[in-house]
Amino acid sequence: MSDITIKPDEQVPPAEVPEMELFHSHSWWTTYVFSQDAKVIAIQYAATAISIGVLALILSWIIRIQLAFPGAVSFIDSQVYYQSVTMHGMIMVVYMLTAILLGGFGNYLIPLMVGARDMVFPFVNMLSYWIYLLATLVLATSYLVPGGPTGAGWTLYPPQSILTGTPGYDYGIIMMLVSLILFIVGFTMGGLNYVVTVLQARARGMTLMRMPLTVWGIFTAAVLALLAFPGLFVACVMLLLDRLAGTSFFMPAIVEFGEHKNYNGGSPILFQHLFWFFGHPEVYIVALPAFGVVSDIISVHARKNIFGYRMMVWAIVAIGVLSLVVWGHHMYVSGMDPTFGFFFAITTLAIAVPTALKVYNWVLTLWRADIHFTTPMLFALGFLVTFLNGGITGLYLGNVIVDVPLSATLFVVAHFHMVMGIAPVLVIFGAIYHWYPKITGRMMNETLGKIHFWITFVGAYAIFFPMHYLGLLGIPRRFYEMGQTAFVPDSAHTLNIFITVMALVVGFVQFIFFYNLFHSLKNGKPSGGNPWRAASLEWQTPETPPGHGNWGETLPVVYRWPYAYSVPGANQDYLPQNMPPIKGEHII
Amino acid sequence: MQQSAEENVEWHRQKLLRLIADWSSDQRSFKTASWRKTMMWIFLVSDTFIFSCFLISYMTVRMSTAVEWPHPSEIFALEIGGQKIPLILIAIMTFDLITSSGTMALAVNYAYDKKRKPAAILLVATALIGAAFVGMQAFEWSKLIHEGVRPWSNPFGAPQFGSCFFMITGFHGFHVSMGVIALLVIARNVWRGDYDVGRQTSYSHRTGDYEIVEVMGLYWHFVDLVWVFIFAFFYLW
């Protein structure tokens, strides 16, 4: 317990923790490859995640081409189709979004934003990345094994995921499960680092309630991940045993192709409970960092403090807590005890309260603000709209009685792509445009950025908005082809072709972004240390890009919250967190 | 009586106020915990969730299986001197592991007193008792395997008995084994006095203190505590 008393004349309590000892690299290998610097690890994480994300993007084209032009491309048979659906889902949710938001942005921003020299356990942090890379490689290698990757769907539901009829029965499913177990082990190492750094390694003056919302979002997401990934870990271990050792954890007595399988008495629903105990918090592991980042982008580019900062923090925490008790809404049609549906519907709809509160606060931040329509801001605004849209369809799906007819249709696909596909991806783009100057010292090209934004944003709507309608028609998800089906009108097929064309366009536009990313590295306009005139701590580093140890000789001292924009009486429109208080300032 | 109740309330009030003060302060939220101790606690919370998921899964399949669950007091009985004694091996194993918690706690105490030799001896003793636990577990495994229990089948009833037994005790035994290795490494470091001079070794932070012994202790007591739950849910139910 602290015994420090703050004298009235002292603004900030004295340092409690001695300086951390950094690992100083001596060679190229330990500086850029086996680096223990969180910033390098962040870039490694992000680069790996984006690379595997490109694979997922190409897989989505395969899915869309098959749906719009069944049989037109000869190599897309049903096996390839199901493998593409599975790998696209798993890569995007786990290997791309989780890794880039926590491993990428978490590693880069947490130490800089809380004023630390590095993560608290740099070696463990490095290990976390290499295990993540190994997990990604194992996953990608499943394309090279006989039978290819698993085609069980990203939820990997047994019994079908480990029966011979499913593509990738031989090795694909094993590779997938091993890869997931590795990912969880690696992620636990990273997650512990993020949580402890936020709790125990902040700068002088940096209280929890002076942290940027980005840090709050990533921190809560990391806590959630540490509590939710155990569910997936256990599910993977048990499914692996069912597949390899012939146990019957998830497998009931079952007859396949007339052959009585050697399984007996397992519970397939148990897998669904374990999977979704991970799977639902996972949505918020992806969404909460996005919430945080978007709050910061909006505040900086609207030159206004975030509206209701404390409410925003408590909303993040409340969403995090609630997200652990809603998993059953993925299982309304699973045969789970129907009375559970009542409980899970209520908790699910309760999440709408803190979430709506956040949306209101973002809108109120924009209200009468000095909005600069920069590329990051456009992406943040795009997020607001897509997230609101996806959230509203979530209300439909959260109610048992509405969900039952809609489940397993394209309505669900449209919903979750809006809310946890498009929305976080827009934020990731916005965040890259926003922090690129800090990472490289150069600006990204604004014109290319705006082209990228408008085609991505409008294109995403063109893809997923009609999909709601297809879902309401009752078109099921995951079907390889519809064939001659009476209830599907011809117009639905036309719409399917439209969606596919838009998906191809949006996919290709991402290469403009990649061009911009690499081109600006050498040719971008030099940005200086703080091109957006932002107040939070990461923009106040002595060097840009920040050097090893982030802060040069002395650690920063924090005097105010990170949203001091347009402060009355100040002679500039923002006050950096580490600037001593000005006369008569009301310190928050 | 009246006064002591008021004092009690006041004590709790002070405690709560300090907690709030710590959490609304800068730099650190847990004022007395180092980074590694904080990390170990948070890791243990995460690990608790893993073990909970395992145990809840075990309970679920025990309910879902169509075959009778074998009676633990019979299947875990040992024949000693022509008599079947139920749960005798588990009783010894549990006693053994809880004893190791005692030696661990003593080791922490001696380490903070900078009495290196008794601390190192007690750490080695803890490791040996832990290794004995793993040894007895191996004996129990081989006995059950000898009797025909397999992860996929079980002559005494539900096949899930074997699956759960090998999976859960295996996962716990893995934790104990990792702990034994870490204990031996730390015992060596304590014996050599690495933590006095703050030398860079495995499990040291160059801070020159013996806190790592306590962090090790946290892990070890956790592994013990988990065993108590496995014992209760698996062997006594």
Cβ–Cβ of B18/A199 closer than 8 Å? no
* Closest chain B residue to the Cα of A206, Cα to Cα: B26
As a whole number of angstroms, the distance between CA A63 and CA A17 comes to 54
CA–CA gap between residue A284 and residue B51 (Å, rounded): 23
Reported ipTM? 0.93
The pLDDT assigned to A7 comes to 44
Pick the CATH number of B34-235 from 1.20.120.80, 3.20.20.70, 1.10.1740.10, 1.10.10.10: 1.20.120.80
> What DSSP letter does each residue of B158-220 carry, written as one string?
-HHHHHHHHHHHHHHHHHHHHHHHHHHHHHHHHHHTHHHHT---TT--SS-SSHHHHHHHHHH
A474-529 pLDDT, tens digit each: 999 999 988 778 888 888 899 999 999 999 999 999 999 999 999 999 999 999 89
pTM of structure: 0.94
pLDDT value of position B146: 94
By Cβ distance, the residue of A21, A196, A202 closest to B42 is A196
Phi, psi torsion values for B83, nearest 5 degrees: -120, 140
CATH 1.10.10.10 fits A36-251, yes or no: no
SS3 A531: coil
Mean pLDDT check: name the lowest of A424-438, B95-109, B148-162, B175-189. B148-162
Q: Which of B85, B78, B237, B61 is nearest to B154 (CA)?
A: B61
Which tokens in the block code for residue A317?
């925490």
Q: Which of A564, A577, A575 is nearest to A537 (CA)?
A: A577
B37-87 tens-digit pLDDT: 999 999 999 999 999 999 999 999 999 888 899 988 888 888 888 888 888
The pLDDT of residue A8: 41
Q: What is the helix (H) or strand (E) element at residue A255, kind and residue range?
A: strand A255-256
Residues in CB range of A191: below 8 A, 6 or more apart: A102, A222, A223, A225, A226, B46
At residue B205, the pLDDT reads: 56
pLDDT tens for each residue of A355-379: 999 999 999 999 999 999 999 999 9
Handedness of CA A343, A346, A349, A353 (dihedral sign): negative
Of A203, A238, A248, the CB nearest to B159: A248
**DSSP per-residue letters across A93-121:** IIIIIIIIIIIIIIHHHHHHHHT-SS-S-
Q: Which residues of A touch B62 (CB under 8 A)?
A: none
Q: How far is B81 from chain A (nearest CA, A)?
A: 35
Q: Does B14 touch chain A (CB under 8 A)?
A: no
Residues 130-189 (B) with a CB less than 8 A from some CB of A: 151-152, 158-160, 162-163, 167, 171
> B163–A234: do the CB atoms touch at under 8 Å?
no
Weakly modelled stretches of chain A, pLDDT under 70? 1-10
Greatest alpha-carbon pair distance for chain A in Å reads: 84
pLDDT of residue A2: 42
CB-based contact (8 Å) between A461 and chain B? no
Helix ranges, A104-210 (H): 107-114, 122-141, 172-200
The residue of chain A nearest to residue B17, with distances taken between CA atoms, is A1
The answer to whether A123 contacts chain B (CB < 8 Å) is: no
CB contact under 8 A, B31 and A249: no
Amino acid at A57: L
**Numbered ranges of CATH 1.20.210.10 in chain A:** 36-251, 283-481+495-522
Per the CB < 8 A criterion, the answer to whether A417 and A523 are in contact is no
Helices (H), A307-422: 309-323, 338-366, 375-398, 400-406, 410-416
pLDDT of residue B232: 92
Asked whether residue B229 carries a pLDDT value surpassing 80, the answer given is: yes
* Alpha-carbon gap, residue B29 to B26, rounded angstroms: 7
Q: Report the C-alpha gap between B57 and B41 in whole angstroms.
A: 24
**SS3 of residue B65 by DSSP:** coil
Yes or no: domain A283-481+495-522 corresponds to CATH 1.20.210.10: yes
Q: Could you tell me the residue ranges of all domains in chain B?
A: 1-32, 34-235
Cα nearest neighbour of B68 on chain A: A265
What is the Rg, in whole angstroms, of the alpha carbon atoms belonging to chain B?
Answer: 22
Quote the minimal CA–CA distance from B203 to chain A in Å: 12
pLDDT value for A486: 82
A263 → chain B, closest CA residue? B152
A153: left (phi over 0), alpha (psi -120 to 50) or beta: left
